[in-house]
Amino acid sequence: MAKKSNFPDIIFIGQPNCGKSTLFNAIAGLKAKTSNFPGTTVQHTHSEVNIKGEVVNIIDLPGTYSLNPSDPAEKVALTHLFLEKPDLIINVVDASVLGRSLELTLELIELEYPMIVALNMVDLAERKGVEIDIEKLARTLGVPVVPTIASHGRGIKEMLDAALGTLEEGRSAARIKWSRDVEEKIEELEKQLPESFPIVANKRFTAVKMIEAGKLLFDKMLKDINPPLKMVLDKVRNDLQTMHNAPAYEVIAAERHHLALKNFEECCSVRRGKRIGFLEKVDSIIMHRLLGYLILLAVFLGFFFIIFKIGGPLEELLSGPLENLRHSLSIGLGEGVIYHLADGLLQGIGGGVAIVLPYFIPLLFLMSFLEDVGYLARAGFLMDTFMHKIGLHGKSVSPFILGFGCNVPAVVSTRILESRRDRIITSLLIPFIPCSARTTIILALVAFHLGPLWALGFYVFNILLLAVLGRVITFFFKIPSPGLILEIPSLKMPSLKNMMKKTYFQLKSFINFAWPILIAGSVVLGLFQYLNFDRFINIILSPLVEKGLGLPRELGVTLVFGFLRKELSLIMMSDALGVSIQSLMTMISKEQIIVFTVFVSFFIPCLSTVAILWKEIGRKVAFISMALNTGVAVIVSLLVRLILRK
Amino acid sequence: MVNLINAPEDTSLRIVDVLGGHGVRRRLFALGFHKNDIIELDSRSILRGPILVRNLTIDTSVALGRGVARKIMVEVIGEKK
C-alpha cells in the first residue's frame, strides 16, 4: 500500500482499556474515542500533529490483546500494522495490569520495529501497591519505557521526546529469546522459508505467526502454493506439541505468558495483601448477585429519566423556532418547487437539531460516563443471563444502549463482538430499538394523549418484542454464540474532559454520516409533496392503511415513507391530517394512535440505518433487516388493531 | 481436579487445563489465562449467568459465560478466605 503521507507514521497500539485514546487525544486534540469498555476505538483515527516542529502522522488503532486477532476491531489494528510498516510503535500499557500487558509488548518487540512503551496509569498501579523499576524494565525489554498518566496529561512531554528520539535513531527493538527447544523449532521453519515467501516484518516473526496460525484457510493456501513448506510447518507444530503436550499455538502463547510474568516479577514489587479499597467495596456491591440488579434497574431508570428531563424541554425550545421558520418560508416562497425543496431541506436540518440532538447529546454524555467509570462492562456481566435467553451475551449490551440514542452508532459499535453471528443478530435487532426520534413520537403521541403509563407500557412491549425476535432470529443460526469473555476493568473516576471529548466525537460521526442522508431523504419527500405524489402513493397504500390498519388514508405517506425522515413523522402526520399534534384527538381515536405508533416504531427506522448496515455488515443483512422490519411492523400493527377493536 | 463452575468461591485455584475448541482457548490465552495461573472465583451470577473470575497471577478480573467457564479445569490450592 503506498504511504498515504510523507510524514513518519507513528501508531498507538495497546490492549483494550489501557488509556491509548486518552493519550492519543492529549497529543492530537479531539480525535479518538476513549472508554472503559473494552474495545471502543472501533474505527482507527489518523491525525497529523506537529510535535516540536516535526510533523508526524499519528494513528490510534483499536485495542487488541494479541497480534492474533479474534474480533473485527482487532483485525483493523493488524492489517494496518502488517501492511504499512510504521516508522514508530508507541505501545501503550496499563501499568496496573503490567503482567498481562507485557504479553502484547513482547509480541510487538518480535516485529523488530522502532518502538517505545508508554507506561500509562502509573498512578493506578501505585494505588494497587505495584512498584515498577522503570529503568530495569527498559533494560529488560530493550526499548525506552516512559511513565505517563494520560488522563492528567502527565509524562506526555517526556513520552514525545522519547518517541522523537527513537524515531530519529531508527533503533529497532531487539529480539528476546524464548526457551531453547522452542527457539530451535522456530529456526527450523525459518530456514525453510523461500525468498519468494511473503515476509511480514522479519523471517522469525513470519515463522512464529505461521506456527500460531489458527485459520484453516492459511493451512490450505500454503498446501496449495508450497507443499514442502507445509510439511515442514506440520512437522514443527507436531514436534512442539509432543514436547509440551499442548497444541503448538498454546506453546507459543505460553512462552510469551511466562516471559511476560518473569519480566514483571523481576522489575516490579507488589505489596500483596487484599487491600479492600473504597472502589473494591463499591464493586462488590455493584456486582452483588441480587443488589447488583436493583442498582442496574435504578441506573437505567435514572439514565432515561435524566435524558427525558433534559431532552423534553430542549426539544420544545428548538422545535418552536423551526415551526416559525417553516411558516415564514412558505409565505416567502409560495407554493413552487423551490418552496418544497427548501422546506424539505429545512425540515431535514431542523429535524436533526430539534428532535434528535436534544435526546442524543445527553444520552451520549451519560453513556460515556457509564463507560468511563467501568459500569457498562459490569452491566454487560449482569445482563448476560437475559441476553443469553435471546441467543446473545453481555457484550451486546453496549450496542443496545447506544441504539436508544441512535441506531447508526449502535450498528458501528457491534465491531467489538467477536463472532460474525453475534454481530449479525445484534445488528438485526438494533433497528427495533426505539431511537431518540421514535422516542419523541412515543412521547408526543402515546404519553401526551394516553398518559405516561401507556408510554411505559409501550416501552416494555417493545423490549419484550425484542426478546421474542431475538429468540426467533437465533433459531436460524445453527452455530451457538461463542459465549461471554469480557474483561471487567477496575472502577475508575471518569474525567469530565474525556467524557466531553467522547460525546463530541460520537456526535461528529453522527453528523458526518447520518445527517446528510436524513437531509437528502427529507428533500426527496419535499419533492413528493410538490409533485403531489403523496396523494398518488396514499391511494396505492390505502388497502393496507385503511382496510388493514384502520387508519385514515392520508397517513399512507407518513407511515411508509417515514423512514426517509423518521424524525419528522409527527410533522408529516399533522400536515397530512391538517391539524396540530396537540389537537390530534379531533381527527383520530386512541386506538388509531396506538396502531400508528406501533407501525412507525417497528418499521424501517431510517435511511441512515440501512446505509450503515450495508456498509458495516453487508448488503444481504441490510435487505434482510428491511424485510424483517417491514414484516414485523405490518403483522404487529394488524394484531394490535384486532386486539384493540374488542 | 474440578470444573471451574463447581469450584468453591473466594478460594485460590490453579488452572490445570483449558478444554474446548481452539477459538475459545485462543481468546482465553489472549486474556492471559494460561495453565498453572492462580485464579479465584469471585461470584456467580443468578439464573446460571456468567461467573466473575480474578486472575491473581496478573491481577485482572474477567466475566466468563457458563459455557466458557465449564471449559476451565482447576484444582483447589488454598483455603477459603
CATH code assigned at B63: 2.30.30.90
User: Looking at residues A496-518, what average pLDDT do you find?
Assistant: 79
| Distance, C-alpha A113 to centroid of its chain | 30
Nearest residue of B to residue A382, measured between CA atoms: B45
Q: Read off the amino acid at residue A250.
A: E
Instruction: Judge whether A17 and A94 are in contact, CB under 8 Å.
Output: yes
Which of left, alpha, beta for A451 (phi over 0: left; psi -120 to 50: alpha)? left
Q: What's the whole-model pTM score?
A: 0.81
| 3-state DSSP helix/strand/coil % of chain A, to nearest 5 | 70, 10, 25
Name the residue with higher pLDDT: A90 or A347: A90
CA atoms within 13 A on the CB side of A380: 32
Segments forming the whole domain that contains residue B52: 2-76
Q: pLDDT band at A273, cuts 50/70/90?
A: low
Most confident of A53-57, A578-582, A638-642, B46-50: A638-642
| Contact by Cβ (8 Å): A458, A447 | no
What letters, b where the CB count within 10 A reaches 16 and e where it falls short, cover A348-372?
bbbbbbbbbbbbbbbbbbbbbbbbb
What average pLDDT does the segment A604-608 reach? Answer: 86
Cα(B17)–Cα(A337) distance, integer angstroms: 73
Average pLDDT over residues A238-244: 92
pLDDT of residue A29: 55
User: pLDDT value at position A274?
Assistant: 53
| CA closest to B57 among chain A residues | A99
Q: What is the reported pLDDT for A330?
A: 77
From chain A, pick out residues whose CB is under 8 angstroms from the CB of B64. Answer: 483-485
Cβ(A407)–Cβ(A601) below 8 Å = no
Closest chain B residue to A38, measured at CA: B62
Of A66, A261, A385, the CB nearest to B30: A66
DSSP A19: S
Q: Do A100 and B24 touch (CB under 8 A)?
A: no
Mean pLDDT of A440-447: 81
Spatial contact of A355 and A436, defined as CB atoms under 8 Å apart: yes
pLDDT recorded at residue A28 = 64
Name the residue facing B60 among A97, A130, A247 (closest C-beta). Answer: A97
Contact, B40 vs B19, CB < 8 A? no
> Among all residues of chain A, which has the CA nearest to that of B27?
A70
Q: Which residues of A touch B34 (CB under 8 A)?
A: 253-254, 257-258
A376, A481, A485: best to mutate for the B interface, most B CBs within 10 A: A485
Distance CA A418, CA A246 (A): 24
Mean pLDDT computed over A511-520: 79
Q: Which residue has the higher pLDDT, A479 or B61?
A: B61
What's the pLDDT tens digit per position in A315-364?
A: 778 877 877 887 887 787 777 777 777 877 877 777 677 767 787 888 88
Q: How far apart are CA A594 and CA A453, in angstroms?
A: 13
Strand partners, B11: B80
Domain boundaries, chain A: 9-169, 180-248, 291-645
Mutate which: A252, A481, A484, A487, vs B, most B CBs within 10 A: A484
Closest chain A residue to the Cα of B65, Cα to Cα: A484
Residue A43 has pLDDT above 70, yes or no: no
- Band (pLDDT 50/70/90 cuts) for residue A622 is very high
User: In terms of Cα–Cα distance, which of A125, A115, A63 is closest to A89?
Assistant: A115
pLDDT value for A500 = 85
d(CA A430, CA A402): 9
Query: Distance from CA of residue A8 to its chain's centroid?
Result: 29
Cβ neighbours of B29 in A, within 8 Å:
66, 249-250, 253-254, 257
Is there a contact between B66 and A406 (Cβ–Cβ < 8 Å)? no
State the sign of the Cα–Cα–Cα–Cα dihedral A318, A324, A328, A330. positive
Find the range with the poorest average confidence among A332-341, A390-399, A415-424, B8-17.
Answer: A332-341
Inside any domain, residue B81: no
Taking the C-alpha atoms of residue A14 and residue A581, their distance in angstroms, rounded to an integer, is: 52
CA dist A478 and A460 (Å) reads 29
- Are residues B45 and A381 in contact, defined by beta-carbon separation less than 8 angstroms? yes
* Residues contacting residue A136 through CB under 8 Å, at least 6 positions apart: A266, A267
pLDDT band at A276 (very low <50, low <70, confident <90, very high): low
User: Do the chains contact at A96 and B63, CB–CB below 8 Å?
Assistant: no
User: In the predicted model, what is the mean pLDDT of residues A426-432?
Assistant: 94
Classify A53 in phi/psi space as left (phi over 0), alpha (psi -120 to 50) or beta.
left
Residues B65/B71/B77/B79 CA torsion (nearest 10 deg): 30
CB-nearest to B45 from A128, A246, A384 is A384
Distance CA A614, CA A471 (A): 23
Do the Cβ atoms of B65 and A214 come within 8 Å?
A: no
Element (H, E) at B14: strand B11-18
Chain A residues close to B67, C-beta within 8 Å: 480, 483
State residue A561's pLDDT score: 76
| Chain A residues touching residue B60 (CB < 8 angstroms) | 97, 100, 487
Among the partner-chain residues A254, A261, A384, the one whose CB lies closest to the CB of B50 is A384
In this prediction, residue A37 carries a pLDDT of: 43
Residue contact A482–B23, C-beta within 8 A: yes
Q: Shortest CB distance from A289 goes to which of B25, B29, B45?
A: B45
Contact at CB, B26 and A288, closer than 8 angstroms: no
Residue identified by cell 374488542 is A646
Residue in the structure block whose three cell numbers are 512464529? A208
Measured N-to-C along each axis, helices A397-405 and A420-429 cross at an angle, to the nearest 10 degrees, of 30
Report CB contact under 8 Å: B45, A487.
no
Query: Which pLDDT band holds residue A32 (cuts at 50, 70, 90)?
Result: very low
Q: What is the ipTM of this complex?
A: 0.92
Range in A86-90, A140-144, A152-156, A318-322 with the lowest mean pLDDT: A318-322
* Mean pLDDT over the full length of chain B: 89
Contacts of A180 (CB under 8 A, 6+ apart): none
Structurally, what CATH architecture does the domain formed by A9-169 represent?
A: 3-Layer(aba) Sandwich (3.40)
Helix residue ranges per DSSP H, A477-495 = none
> Residue A163: is it exposed, middle or buried by C-beta count within 10 angstroms (0-12/13-18/19+)?
buried
pLDDT at A497 over 90: no
Cell of A339: 418552496
Lowest mean pLDDT across A346-350, A391-395, A435-439, A591-595: A346-350
Torsion of CA A314, A319, A322, A324, to 10 degrees: -120
| Across A43-54, average pLDDT | 70
* HSE value, Cβ hemisphere, 13 Å, CA-based, for A400: 23
The residue of chain A nearest to residue B61, with distances taken between CA atoms, is: A488
For residue A284, give how far its alpha carbon lies from the nearest alpha carbon of chain B (Å).
9
* β-pair partners for A117: A91, A145
pLDDT band, very low/low/confident/very high, at A499 (cuts 50, 70, 90): confident
Chain B residues within 8 A of A385 when measuring between CB atoms: 45-50
CA dihedral (A142, A148, A151, A154) positive or negative: negative
Chain B: residues touching A (Cβ < 8 Å):
22-32, 34-35, 42-50, 52, 55, 57-68, 81
- Chain B residues with CB-CB distance to A485 below 8 A: 24, 27-28, 31, 62-65, 68
* Contact partners, residue B19, CB within 8 Å, separation at least 6: B71, B72, B73
One-letter identity of residue A204:
R
Mention every residue, 6+ apart, whose C-beta is less than 8 A from residue A40: A16, A21, A33, A34, A62, A63, A371, A413, A416
Give me A384's grid cell. 448476560
- Residue A514 in this model has a pLDDT that exceeds 80: no
How far apart CA A522 and CA A561 sit, in angstroms, is: 10
Contact (CB<8Å) B49/A65: no
| pLDDT at residue A577 in the model | 76
Residue A46, pLDDT above cutoff 50 = yes
Nearest to A197 by CA among A210, A186, A187, A188: A210
Mind telling me how many Å the CA of B44 is from chain A's nearest CA? 7
Helix, strand or coil for residue A17? Answer: coil
CB-CB under 8 Å, B35 with A382: no
Q: Select from A247, A290, A485 the Cβ nearest to the Cβ of B62.
A: A485
Neighbours of A52 (CB within 10 A): 8
Residue A516: pLDDT above 90?
no
Shortest Cα–Cα distance, A381 to chain B (Å): 6
- Please write down the HEC assignment for all residues of A80-132: HHHHCCCCEEEEEEEHHHHHHHHHHHHHHHCCCCEEEEEEECHHHHHHCCEEE
At residue A73, the pLDDT reads 65
In angstroms, the separation between the Cα of residue B26 and the nearest Cα of chain A is 8
pLDDT surpassing 60 at residue A30: no
Number of domains comprising chain B: 1
Q: What confidence score (pLDDT) does residue A546 get?
A: 84
Residues counted in chain A: 646
Could you say which of B27, B32, B55 has the minimum Cβ distance to residue A70?
Answer: B27
CB pairs under 8 A between A and B: 127
Cβ contact, residue pair B34, A254, below 8 Å: yes
